[in-house]
Amino acid sequence: MSGNVVKKILKDAKEKAKEILEKAQEEVSLQISEGEKENKELLKRAKKEAEKLKQQEITKMVDMEELEVRKLILMEKRKIITEVYNKSLEELYSLDKSKYREFIKSLIIKYFSSGDEEVLIGSEDKKVLSGIVEEINKSKGLHLKESGEEAWIDKGAILKRGKVYTNISLKALLKKVFEEMQSEIIKGLFEDV
pLDDT on residue 74: 78
3-state secondary structure of 117: coil
pLDDT at residue 186, as a whole number = 67
Pairwise CA distance, residues 108 & 115, whole Å: 10
Domain ranges in the chain are 95-183
Distance CA 86, CA 20 (A): 96
Print burial letters for 80-117: b (CB count within 10 Å at least 16), e (below 16).
ebeeebeeeeeebeeeeeeebbeebbebbeeebeeeeb
Q: E strands, the chain, where?
A: 118-121, 145-146, 156-161, 164-169
Answer for the pair 166, 123: CB distance below 8 angstroms, yes or no. no
- Digit-by-digit pLDDT tens for the chain (193 residues) are 566 777 777 777 778 878 887 887 888 888 888 888 888 888 888 888 888 888 888 889 988 888 888 888 878 877 887 888 888 888 888 888 889 889 888 888 888 777 778 888 888 888 888 888 898 889 888 888 888 887 888 888 888 888 888 888 888 888 888 787 777 766 666 666 5
Architecture of domain 95-183: 2-Layer Sandwich (3.30)
Q: Using CA atoms, how far apart are residues 137 and 139, in angstroms rounded to an integer?
A: 6
